[in-house]
Structure 1
Amino acid sequence: MPKINESKILIIATHGYEQSELEFPRDQLRVKDATVHVATPDGEAIKGWEGSDWGREAEADLKIADAKVEDYDALVIPGGQINPDLLRVNEDAIKLVKAFHDAGKPIAAVCHAPWVLVEAGIAKGRKMTSYHSVKTDVINAGAHFEDSPVVVDQGIITSRNPDDLKDFVSKIVEEVEEGEHARKAA
């Protein structure tokens, strides 16, 4: 079983990510000595969204297309309205999410990011939560919606909004330390 301080976590995001939903998990996992990389569509820095305007930049470590599932222990997808909407139409991002799923590795999606899980076809039959405006999409994808701070189903971790980030990160740590998850097909 991997310990969090020996793990490598990948965050995938693009412009318009919810500032706290990328920074809080990235920084808290690094405080726990996990290696955390950020992958973006072009491998370049991305700009966040905070409140009602653009926020700070996040440095990128690699392109999403260059990320290899075997190099990481878990995948984290921040929300915001813009970021997951762009990622769910990014072929490389969807392929990567499916690869993490098929490998049984934890996948964590917060706020609007369950849209990406829906697009990857891994929501059906799972217990999930999301931001309230995404609830109908999650249900229509065949997931069992729960209005809870964090919901886990076979290593698929979902949370509703920035208020849930402490629970979200705690569950990421727990799931990484449990190791790979045998999954039935979505």
Structure 2
Amino acid sequence: MKKILLLLANGFESYEASVFTDVFGWNSFEGDGSVQLDSVGLHPILECTWGYKCIPHFTLDQIKLEDYDALAIPGGFEETGFYIDAFDERFLDVIRYFNKENKLISSICVAALSIAKSGVLNGRNATTYNFEGSFRRKQLQDLGTILSDKRIVQDSNIITSSSPETALDVAFMTLEQLTSTENMLNIKKRMGFKTV
């Protein structure tokens, strides 16, 4: 069985995390059941962007990174302290490990900034939150990336995206790459999404 690590920073956006838990949860019951998702944080209790608390399956010190086949990272808000964890060296080291092993790294919205901060996006194509007037795109570019205007960008093993709107698409892309196109389309249909 493959395993995906859902890496949560304090202040993460709950919707962006929930797309992974839902898509991979549906896969465990209605799909090929071949991927287990574990949520992991730096703390035993995390606060979501909108103020409620979350208990991850594990804290980072309780797991072995080599047990995981892919990494997923939701974004969050500076106002809720997201970048304190998202730029923490322990958090960045997880990203560096997955990239060094050429394992899939999927991110949503400003989680791309964590990936860039780790150094693994230097000279690679990426995107991040792109609402008009947002300084996040310049911040991403200043961290050494080649900035793209696409809503979702995949450069080798790394997926970045431009807003919460892309979240479900990123989760389905991740499922497809860890299982198969046929399995991903089955889950989309079962969840009520059009597949044409």
**Could you tell me how far 1:15 is from its partner in structure 2?**
2.3
In the alignment, what sits opposite 1:105? 103
Name the CA distance, whole Å, in 1 between partners of 2:157 and 2:95. Answer: 13
TM alignment of 1:168-183, pairs within 5 A? 168-177=170-179
Residue 143 of structure 1: CA displacement? 1.4
Structure (1 or 2) with the larger CA radius of gyration: 2
Aligned counterpart for 1:128 among listed residues 123, 126, 129: 126
- Structure 2 distance, partners of 1:104, 1:142, is 19
Work out whether residues 24 and 165 of structure 1, in 8 Å CA contact, stay in contact via their aligned partners in 2.
yes
Does residue 40 (structure 1) correspond to residue 38 (structure 2)? The answer is no
Paired with 1:119 and 1:67, the residues of 2 have a C-alpha distance of 23
* Structure 1 residues 97 and 84: alpha-carbon distance in aligned structure 2, compared to 1, 3 A threshold: farther
TM-score (norm: length of structure 1): 0.82
Residue identity in the other structure for 1:38 = S
Decide which moves more: 61-70 or 24-33.
61-70
Q: Return the alpha-carbon distance in structure 2 between the equivalents of residues 114 and 152 of structure 1.
A: 11
Show structure 1 runs of 5+ residues with no match: 1-5, 179-186
Cα deviation 1:39-59 (Å, max 9, x = unaligned): 1112x1322123xxx2x4332
Query: How far did residue 177 of structure 1 move?
Result: 4.0
Q: d(CA) in 1 for partners of 2:48 and 2:123?
A: 32
Q: Which letter does structure 2 place at the counterpart of 1:69?
A: L
Q: Which position in structure 1 is the counterpart of 2:115?
A: 117
**Residue 17 (structure 2) aligned to one of 10, 19, 22:** 22
Indicate the residue corresponding to 1:183 in structure 2: none
- How many angstroms does 1:171 deviate by? 1.6
For each residue in 1:24-80, what CA deviation from the matched residue of structure 2 results, as whole angstroms up to 9, or x when unmatched? 1122112112311111112x1322123xxx2x4332111123332211111111101
Q: State the distance in 2 between where 1:129 and 1:92 align.
A: 23
| Aligned length in residues | 168
Range that drifts further, 122-131 or 62-71: 62-71
2:90 to 82, 89, 92: 92
Kindly tell me: are residues 14 and 88 of structure 1, through their superposed partners in 2, closer, same or farther at Cα, counting changes over 3 Å? closer
Higher strand share: 1
- Farther off after superposition, 17-26 or 64-73: 64-73
Indicate how the Cα distance of structure 1 residues 115 and 166 shifts in structure 2: closer, same or farther if over 3 A, else same: same
Displacement of 1:148 in angstroms is 2.2
Q: What's the TM-score, normalizing by structure 2?
A: 0.78
Cα shift at 1:138: 1.5
Could you say what secondary structure the match of 1:49 adopts?
coil
Distance 1:141-1:14 versus aligned 2 partners, 3 A rule:
closer
